[in-house]
Structures are given as C-alpha cells and as structure tokens.
Amino acid sequence: MVKNEMKKAITIKDIAKIAQVSESTVSRALRNNEVINKKTRERVQAIAKENNFKINAAARNLRLQKTNTIAVIILFNEKSGQSISDPFMLELLGTIADELTIQGYDMLLTTSKTTPGDWGNYYFESKRADGLIVIGQGEKDERIGLLAGENTPFVVWGLPDETKNYSTVGSDNIKGGYLAVSHLIAQGCKRIAFFGDIKHPEILARWQGYQQAHKEAGLIVDENLRTNLDFTSADGYKHAKNVFSKNVISADATFTGKNCPDALFAVSDAIALGAMKYFKESDIRMPEQVSIVGFDDIAQSEYAHPSLSTIKQNTKQGGVILVQNLLKKLKGEVIKTQLLEVELVKRESSAS
C-alpha cells in the first residue's frame, strides 16, 4: 500500500530563501508594491504561483494589527449639492487611490452622510482602517476636532488653521480668488458677480481674495453681487438665469439695469460651466458681454466653448502629499500643514 502524504504548504520564508531576498521584500512583491523593482516582483510572484502560495490576509492583519486599508471620508454638508461625482472630487480621489495602491494600501471610500459621528472608534479602534483621510472641513468640524482629541492618525484636505491641532493639505484659496478677480479687473470689469456659498471655509477664503482684489483696485465690494449656491452646474445655470436675465443688453454690448454684472467669478468650474450654458442659450457673448473665470481646472474646462479661464488646483500633488503625510504619521513622524500654490489659467471665456 502506498501512503499518501500531504505536501507541506510553502511560506513567505520559503519563497524568500528560493528568491534569495528578504521576507519583507517577498511581502511587498506579493502586494505588487512598486517600491520593489519590477524584475524582483515578477520573480517572487512567479515562485509563489508555481508553488500555489496563497496569502492568508486575515491572519497576517491579525498578527500585525494592521488592515492595510485607509478610509477616505468625504465631508459633505447636509444641504450641499456636491457629490462624489463632482469632477474635482473625482480627480482628487483618483490620485489618492493611485498613491495608496503604489504604497500597498486599499482605499475604503465613504461620506460623512453615511458614517457615525465617532470616526475614530468606528474606523480605527475597530480595525476597519489604519488611518483616515478627510476631504473638506465643511461648515462645522466637530467630528474632525474629536479625531484630533483622540490622537487618531488622520490628515485633512482643507484650510490651514493654527488654532487646530491637526495637519492639513490644501490650496491657497485666498490667492486663487485674488488672481481670478484681479484678472477680470485688468480686463476692465468693474461689477463682478461672485457665485459661491461662503459658509464653506474654502469658499469664504476665495471671497476674501475677491475682496482683496477689489480693495487693491480701489473698487467697492457690492454684497448684492454675491450669490450663495451649491457646487453644481444645475445651480450655476439657475442662478445665472436669475441674476443676468434681470439685465438688458445694450447696443454697446454692456448690461444695464439695477444690478449689472459685467463678469462672473464662479468658485468651481462645475458652477461656471452651468452659467456658461445659460449664457450661450441666451446669446450672451463671452467675453465680449460677460467675462467668466472658474476654479479647479477640471478636464472639461479646456474643452468647453468658449474654453473656460480658471484657477488651477494641483490635485495630483495634493493627493500624493495627503497619502504620504498620513503614512508618515502612522510611523510616528511629525507632519506639517502644507499650502499648495494655485495658478491662473487664461482661456477664451475672459479677455486675454
């Protein structure tokens, strides 16, 4: 009688010995971590496949007390029309997801509308995630403050705040508003409509830049030119109709009426593109009759007709820094708040 013997399962230690590399290198190579060069990754993966090696992820994570998952929470206000499908949000999330993959982490995506108030306990203490990335600060930030008080590893995309004991990565929103409005003023515009809800901290900063540009040019800020609205093209269209349909286009291509904007600064490209749709349907010429500048520089802006002038946020740099800062924090390193530069991109919707 021939006795059947079960073949002993191969381990990471065995693979390391065969490949003549360290066990940590094998672990990273099996996760396809790009820190390990491609040739080594392929050799290790081939050895594992040949020997039918399977990673016991649950056992590994239990042993290491790690999930290799980062939770990304998008902080939406209850009444905000913004969603994950917002083009700027998609660009930022895409960069974060790519960088997490490179670093060997999975991304758990959720929103503040569907998660409980105690984020630290729900994600970190229960081992759903090793750390958190919070996108936005919203009108109120009690939950973010609670995270900081619990010493939970997290980083925030948003405004720097010296009164808070957590680090942020975000754009220079004041400068962005200033660049957009200074450009419009330089084209001869004097009554510049502002589309954006200043209850949002980042939008308030863009409004401050708007005011700064007016003050520098010796122009009075007219609060009647500011309109609160959501971050959607639909709201941009609706409010452009509300504001500009009240005015009459004169023979010299200017507006006349009680409130006569000759330009529009929209705090997002989505809002700007909605307004542009109304202008085109109403035969309002851009930039001859109304100049317009948006904010974000999403992909659609360059291909709109006319192409949209805008303030470019560096989402790729921002997403990478968010991930790298969080991973540094997980290692116990001290990280600093970072303010990213913005850039005015001049296109056809405003005079060059």
User: What was the pLDDT predicted at 120?
Assistant: 75
The reply to whether 173-313 shares the fold of 69-170+315-340 is yes
When pLDDT is averaged across residues 86-90 and rounded to a whole number, the result is 87
Classify residue 120 by its DSSP letter.
Answer: I
State the CATH architecture for 69-170+315-340.
3-Layer(aba) Sandwich (3.40)
Beta bridge partner(s), residue 170: 339
pLDDT at 111 over 90: no
Q: How confident is the model at residue 142 (pLDDT cuts 50, 70, 90)?
A: confident
User: What was the pLDDT predicted at 72?
Assistant: 94
User: What was the pLDDT predicted at 114?
Assistant: 67
Residue 351 near residue 290 (C-beta atoms within 8 A): no
Beta-carbon contacts of 316 under 8 Å, excluding residues fewer than 6 positions away, are 91, 95
Q: What are the pLDDT digits (tens) for 144-201?
A: 777 776 677 899 998 887 777 788 999 999 999 999 999 999 999 999 999 999 988 8
One-letter amino acid of 227 = T
In degrees, rounded to 5, the angle at the alpha carbon of residue 237 between the alpha carbons of residues 234 and 242 is 125
User: What was the pLDDT predicted at 27?
Assistant: 79
User: What was the pLDDT predicted at 189?
Assistant: 95
User: What was the pLDDT predicted at 6?
Assistant: 47
What percent of the chain has a predicted confidence (pLDDT) above 90? 58
- Whole-angstrom distance, CA of residue 42 vs CA of residue 39: 5
When pLDDT is averaged across residues 241-248 and rounded to a whole number, the result is 78
Q: What are the pLDDT digits (tens) for 188-239?
A: 999 999 999 998 889 999 999 999 999 999 999 999 999 999 889 999 999 9
User: What was the pLDDT predicted at 251?
Assistant: 45
- Whole-angstrom distance, CA of residue 108 vs CA of residue 147: 18
Higher pLDDT, 291 or 351: 291
Lowest mean pLDDT among 29-38, 102-111, 249-258: 249-258
What strands, in cross-sheet order, belong to the sheet with 342-345?
226-227, 192-195, 263-266, 291-296, 309-313, 342-345
User: What was the pLDDT predicted at 246?
Assistant: 66
Neighbours of 223 (CB within 10 A): 6
| Phi, then psi, of 338 in degrees rounded to 5 | -125, 130
User: What was the pLDDT predicted at 79?
Assistant: 54
| Phi, then psi, of 271 in degrees rounded to 5 | -65, -45
Q: HSE on the CB side for 88, CA within 13 Å?
A: 25
- Let me know how long the chain is: 352
- Whole-angstrom distance, CA of residue 198 vs CA of residue 102: 37
When pLDDT is averaged across residues 62-75 and rounded to a whole number, the result is 78
Short-list 91, 140, 147, 92, CA closest to 122:
147
User: What was the pLDDT predicted at 179?
Assistant: 98
Task: Report the CATH number of the 173-313 domain.
Answer: 3.40.50.2300
When pLDDT is averaged across residues 23-30 and rounded to a whole number, the result is 82
User: What was the pLDDT predicted at 2?
Assistant: 40
- Whole-angstrom distance, CA of residue 346 vs CA of residue 351: 8
Q: What are the pLDDT digits (tens) for 246-297?
A: 655 554 445 545 557 999 999 999 999 999 999 999 999 999 999 999 999 9
Q: HSE on the CB side for 30, CA within 13 Å?
A: 22
User: What was the pLDDT predicted at 159?
Assistant: 87
User: What was the pLDDT predicted at 64?
Assistant: 52
310: its two tokens: 């805008």
How far from chain centre, in Å, is Cα 109?
13
Higher pLDDT, 110 or 149: 110
Q: Where along the chain do its domains lie?
A: 12-55, 69-170+315-340, 173-313
What percent of the chain has a predicted confidence (pLDDT) above 70? 84
Neighbours of 240 (CB within 10 A): 30
Assign 3-class secondary structure to 197-222.
Answer: CCCCHHHHHHHHHHHHHHHHHCCCCC
Average pLDDT over the chain, rounded to an integer: 85
